[in-house]
Amino acid sequence: EDIFQSVGVPLVRNALAGYNTSILSYGQSGSGKTYTMWGPPSAMFEEHSPQSHKGIVPRIFQMLFSELEKEQRMSEGKQFNYQCRCCFLEMKDDSKNALSLENLSEEYVTSYDDVTQILIK
């Protein structure tokens, strides 16, 4: 919860203000990066999983799309247009201490369900 409040909430607020945002985890193998970012494997895909069981990434997307829906309802028929692109990239250290970038993908999404479908691929 602390990490989401200190990192996730400001990230969503900045995205809604029109800034490009990103999140990166870096650290030693086994230090909890994947768990912190995603939570347990089942938590993201279970519809009624408690927020506290989800990692920072699913919570960011849920908050983002929730806030966008609120803005759209409050716009009262005014033009409301947004684009949300998700870019995923794996960065790995190779045996020579060089950084390699793999599996870059970019997808347009309009809902939390779109995000989960991309992650299932």
Q: How far apart are CA 8 and CA 14, in angstroms?
A: 10
pTM listed for this prediction? 0.79
What are the tokens at 59? 């919570």
At 46, is the secondary structure helix, strand, or coil? coil
Give pLDDT tens digits for 8-19.
999 999 999 989
What are the tokens at 30? 């086994």
CA quadruple 71, 60, 117, 26: dihedral sign: positive
Burial of residue 29 (CB within 10 Å: 0-12, 13-18, 19+) is exposed
Residue 1 has pLDDT above 80, yes or no: yes
Q: How far apart are CA 56 and CA 18, in angstroms?
A: 20
Give pLDDT tens digits for 13-70.
999 998 999 888 888 889 998 888 888 877 666 666 666 678 998 899 999 999 998 9
CATH homologous superfamily, domain 2-120: Kinesin motor domain (3.40.850.10)
Q: How many CA atoms lie within 13 Å of 17's alpha carbon, on the beta-carbon side? A: 8
Residues flagged as binding site: 27-34
Token match 């945002």: residue?
Answer: 21
Residues flagged as binding site for ATP: 27-34
What are the tokens at 23? 């999140």
